[in-house]
Amino acid sequence: VAKPDPILVANGVRRSFGGLKAVDVGHLEVQRGTITALIGPNGAGKSTLFNLLTGFDRVDEGRWSFEGAAINGRRGHQVARSGMVRTFQLTKALTRMSVLDNMLLGAQGQFGERMAGALWRPGWARQERANTERALELLERFRLVDKRDDMAGSLSGGQRKLLEMARSLMTEPSMIMLDEPMAGVNPALVQSLLSHITSLRDEGRTVLFVEHDMDVIMGISDWIVVLAQGRVIAEGRPSDIKSDKQVIDAYLGA
Ligand code: ADP
Ligand code: MG
């Protein structure tokens, strides 16, 4: 990370559940074009922070900007449209749809508003053709194109993770947020997922991901942010984090 060039800047982001301060982040930056890992013990607030930043949960307070524009207060599909997406696990409804239809839903900019299928409007057919083309390209890239007509629910754990990643790319996001992309994945597929994550960065996108496996984290991250009890307790390059006693205590003492 040479000169700071943050794509995402957040200040004073707070969210409580009852008396519990789930997220209490004073300042957070994600540098453009990096793979940044967000780590921390279970319950540290990682998923809540993702939900807040991407407009899928409401903060108590806080401001954040993406590509220089304030986006706090925007809802999920609006955040997605501005270029910042998170992946979503396949819900029950989505498992009953084909792989290709899952991709086409992704084109609508996340699933907040318009699950019921696109309404006809002028230009719809042309848009739908372009979306289908892009979906097939992505399915090719993620080696799922042979599964295009299968129900998403028939995919293996690893293939589902690939579909989640592919789907989030339908809107050509400049930043992609992955919450435990390797969870429940057969070890044979982990390398493939990792190389997909690295390619996202190498093609100029910014990646923020939550992961537990230290070897994975150290292996692919440019920067690591450590969250504990909702707060950022440390951040740095992998080599710095590895030798940070406070981090090791917080992370391993969970
Ligand atoms: P992580 O992803 O780091 O494991 P989470 O963000 O899921 O942590 O959770 C942070 C804390 O907030 C946990 O104590 C969790 O139990 C609590 N929490 C998360 N979501 C809710 C919710 N909707 N209602 C109440 N408590 C919640
Ligand atoms: Mg979580």
For the CA of 51, the closest atom of ligand 1 is: 6
Torsion over CA: 124, 130, 133, 135 (sign) = negative
| Residue 17 CA to ligand 1 centre (angstroms) | 8
Going from the N-terminus, what domains does the chain have, and what CATH number goes with each?
Answer: 6-252 (3.40.50.300)
Q: For residue 75, how far is its CA from the centre of ligand 2 (angstroms)? A: 20
Which ligand minimizes its atom distance to the CA of 251? 1
For residue 134, report the distance from its CA to the centre of ligand 2, in Å.
30
pLDDT in tens, 173-209: 999 999 999 888 888 889 999 999 999 999 999 999 9
Q: What is the CB < 6 Å shell around ligand 1?
A: 17, 20, 22, 40, 42-48
Query: Are the CB atoms for 187 and 180 separated by under 8 Å?
Result: no
Annotate 85-100 with DSSP letters as a single string.
EE--PPPHHHHTSBHH
* Residues lower than pLDDT 50 in the chain: 1, 112-116, 254
Alpha helices in 43-202 (DSSP H): 46-53, 76-81, 92-95, 99-106, 124-141, 157-168, 187-202
**Which pTM value belongs to this model?**
0.91
Shortest CA distance to 173 belongs to which of 95, 76, 90?
A: 76
> pLDDT tens across 145-177, in order?
999 999 999 999 899 999 999 999 999 999 999
Nearest CA to ligand 1 atom 20: 48
ipTM topping 0.85: yes
CA 243 to mean position of chain CA atoms: 27
The closest residue, in CA terms, to atom 15 on ligand 1 is: 43
